[in-house]
Structure 1
Amino acid sequence: MSVGQIDTSILGSSIKISNIEIKNLEGFKNKNIIQIKNINADFLFTSLFKDTIVIKNINIEGATLYYEVLISNREVKDNVSTFKPATKNTVSSSAKTSDSSKEQENSKQSQKKNKDFLVNQLTINNSTINASSEFLDIKKDINLSKMSFNNVGTVEQATKFKEVLQMIFSNVLLNINNEIIQGDLKNKIKDKLKNLRNKISPESLKKLERTFR
């Protein structure tokens, strides 16, 4: 990940981060998988000296997700769904927390406690999915609706950051499904499948046929 610029004003209780870039997975065309123009945050200055740092609002402006589908070694791959197994593994591993790890956590809490964070409101504005696939002849921008989350953080009863990421990820997949898979490109893609039989593996072809049936 790279960041273009960070502007901090302690007296103004604000932080601005510009031009955030997250590199794409290897083998995909676009340089980045995610680009964000600006992240603006306003925090409560007095909370810096307390156990919980309170961020009044975080506004993520102009985020673009570059969604790609390609053929690699006769297999159909995309750069977004690879995050899904990681999410599942995180959930399952947390569910299998042993009693010994809980005891360690309790002992840590009895020691000096790290600072907690609480974001009163997290907003994502003007975000876009840039969907592309050369072999399926797809090139489309999908504008996402404004997303807003209240009381996000590490404190008790707050929505955890991981849960927010899961909700954002689900919203992205839903939009890809509605706009690309079930949208006006569906019939066009079904015609394309007829020409792919010698280019991809039978397993990948069956998956695509089930997806676009």
Structure 2
Amino acid sequence: MAISVFDLFKIGVGPSSSHTVGPMRAGALFVQGLRERGELERVKRVEVQLYGSLSATGIGHGTDNATIMGLMGEWPDAIDPAQIIPRIADLRETDTLLLDSRLPIEFVWARDMRLLDENLPYHPNAMTLIAEGEQGELHRDTYYSVGGGFVVDAAQAASGVLDADQTVLPYDFNSAAELLRLCKQNDLSVSQLMMANEKVWRS
């Protein structure tokens, strides 16, 4: 499996990559999907459903707040953590969520933030996000926060193909022994080989 060091070691808010970083990414991905389908401007309400471990321990790990910040269009590697508490307090006081940080919609915390005592298939860290418009439901998606800040949606989980990255690396390896053999064959240090691979993804 090809993976960048910058994906393996993520920048993000704590305390948990599974309970905080992953859910924020899920919220942001949901908003991104609504935008790409041209549905974002039609949203009047969003419901958050947390399942399994995200429901049981999520409040202590900031899952609820992280998901909301994702729905506000924030990403865990770019958000100013100092803004989370005041923005959540403002939402709770006004019952208004700024979807994508610009579209005000009603969000009543006690009604729209649901912590459910059940598990979904595939993984214990599960959440469903539902967007509704004037005429009812526009879109819903279920996400699984599978560890390390990685998130897969229901379609990926059902397919069994969790790694969608098909990047071809100049020095592909699946074990430390293969890595060392490639270094020796190509007269490269580990850092030089990894840099060559990273440059496939980034300049």
TM-score (norm 1): 0.27
In proportion to residue count, which structure has more strand?
Answer: 1
User: Whose RCO is larger (CA < 8 A, sep 6+)?
Assistant: 2
In proportion to residue count, which structure has more helix?
Answer: 2
Larger radius of gyration: 1
TM-score (norm 2): 0.28
